[in-house]
A and B are shown apart, each in its own frame.
Chain A
Amino acid sequence: MKELRSVIKIVTLEKKDILLSILFGFLAGISAVGLFGSSGYLISRAALLPPLYALTVLIAFLKLFGFARAIGRYAERYYSHRATFTMLSNIRLAVYEKIEPHAPRIFQKYRSGDLLSRIVGDVESLQNFFLRVYYPPVVMVIIFLATIAFTTIFSLGMAVILLVGLILTGFLIPIFFAWKQRKIENEVREARGYLSTDVTEFLYGFRDLKIYQQLDDQQHQLGRSASAYITEQEREGKQRMQTQSVNTFITLLVSWVVLGFGAYIVETGDLNGIFLAMLVMISLTVFENAAPMAVLPSHLEDSERASKRLFDLTEDVREDQGSTVLEGSKARGFTFNKVSFRFPDDRLNSLKNVELTIAPGSKTAIVGPSGSGKSTLMQLLLKIHPVTSGELLVDNWKVDEVEQESLWNGVNVVLQENHFFYGTIRDNLQIAKDELSDDEMVQVLAKVELEQFSLDEQVFEKGENLSGGEKQRLAIARAMLRGERVWLLDEPTSSVDALTEQHIFGHLFEQAADDTVVLISHRLTGLEQMDQIVVMEDGQVVEVGTYEELMALKGYFYQMKQIEKSVIG
Chain B
Amino acid sequence: MKHLSRVAYAQRKLIWLLVLASLLIGATIIGQAYFFVAIVEDVFLNDQSFQGVIPLMIGLFLVLAGRAFFTWLNGRTGVSLASKAKRHFRGKIIDKFAKNPVQASLQGQSGRKVSVLMDSVDEIDGYYTSYIPQMIQTAIIPVMILVVVFTHHLYSGIIMVITAPFIPFFMAIVGIMTQKKSEEQMEKLSAFSGRFLDTLQGLTTLKLFGRSKQQKEVIEETSLGFRDATMNVLKVAFVSSLMLEFISMLSIGIIALEIAIRLVIYESIPYFSAFFILVLAPEFYLTLKDFGSAFHTGRGSTGAANQLIDELEKEEQVIEWGTRELQATHPPQISLTDLSYQYNEASSFRLSSLQARVDSGSNVAIVGRSGSGKTTLLHLISGLMRPESGAVEVNGRPLSDYKEPSWFGELSYISQSPYLFSGTIADNIAIGGKGEHTRDEIEVAAEKAGISDLIASLEHGYDTPVGEAGRGLSGGEKQRLALARAFLKRPSVILFDEPTTGLDLRTEQILQQSIKELSKTATVITVAHRLHTIREADQILFLEKGKLVATGRHEELLESVHEYRNMVTIQQGGDTA
Contacts and interface: CB of A to CB of B under 8 A. Distances in A.
Given A206-B105, A244-B75, A568-B531, A100 B203 contact: yes
A405 B208 CA distance: 8
B197 A116 contact: yes
B113 A203 contact: yes
B205 A419 contact: yes
7 contacts: A59-B253, A73-B242, A209-B419, A234-B82, A245-B72, A422-B195, A473-B370
B307 to A, nearest CB: 15
A469 B505 contact: no
Interface string A530-569: 0000000000000000010000000000001001110111
A104 B193 CA distance: 21
B12 interface: no
A470 B205 contact: no
B83 A202 contact: no
Interface in A464-510: 464-465, 467-470, 473, 478, 482, 491, 494-500, 502
A66 to B, nearest CB: 4
Contacts of A256: 57, 60-61, 64
Given A201-B468, A495-B370, A499-B570, A210 B408 contact: yes
Contacts of B230: 81, 85
A208 B421 CA distance: 10
A93 B223 contact: yes
Contact of B264 (A46, A266, A568): A46
Contacts of B83: 230-231, 233-234, 237
B190 to A, nearest CB: 11
A74 B384 contact: no
Interface stretch (B37-45, B439-447, B518-526): B37-45
A246 interface: yes
B contact patch SS: helix
Given A370-B475, A497-B529, A203 B110 contact: yes
Interface string B451-481: 0000000000000000111000011100000
Contacts of A1: none
A81 B246 CA distance: 22
B322 to A, nearest CB: 16
A522 B503 CA distance: 8
A437 interface: no
Interface string B379-403: 0001010000000000000000000
A246 B68 contact: yes
B161 interface: no
Contacts of B57: 256, 259-260, 263
Among the interface residues A219, A560, A564, A567, which one has the most CB atoms of the partner chain B within 10 A? A567
Contacts of A112: 197, 200-201, 203
Interface string B41-77: 0011101011001000100110011011101100110
A381 to B, nearest CB: 12
Given A63-B253, A496-B370, A567-B530, A96 B216 contact: yes
B554 to A, nearest CB: 12
Contacts of B60: 256, 259
Q: Which 5 pairs between the two chains have the least Cβ-Cβ distance?
A: A522-B502, A460-B108, A469-B370, A89-B223, A85-B227
A266 B369 CA distance: 98
Given A408-B208, A431-B211, A497-B567, A203 B501 contact: no
Q: How large is the interface on A (under 10, 10 to 19, 20 to 34, 35 or more residues)?
A: 35 or more
B508 A120 contact: no
A422 B200 contact: no
Interface residues of B, number: 154
A219 B226 CA distance: 34
A274 interface: yes
B274 A43 contact: yes
B567 A498 contact: yes
Interface in A29-53: 36, 39, 42-44, 46-47, 49-50, 52
A222 B94 contact: yes
A19 B198 CA distance: 37
Given A267-B49, A276-B43, A419-B202, A42 B256 contact: yes
Given A92-B223, A223-B91, A460-B107, A522 B44 contact: no
A97 interface: yes
Contact of A274 (B44, B196, B370): B44
A116 B200 contact: yes
A257 B421 CA distance: 62
B102 to A, nearest CB: 5
Interface string A70-99: 110110011001100110110011001101
Contacts of A197: 422, 468-469
Nearest to A242: B72
Interface stretch (A247-255, A295-303, A327-335): A247-255
A49 B40 CA distance: 17
A569 B535 CA distance: 8
A238 B79 contact: yes
B502 A491 contact: yes
A226 B91 contact: yes
Given A67-B249, A461-B194, A467-B375, 15 more contacts: A85-B230, A92-B223, A93-B219, A104-B203, A196-B114, A200-B114, A212-B408, A245-B68, A246-B68, A248-B71, A267-B43, A276-B43, A415-B204, A465-B108, A528-B577
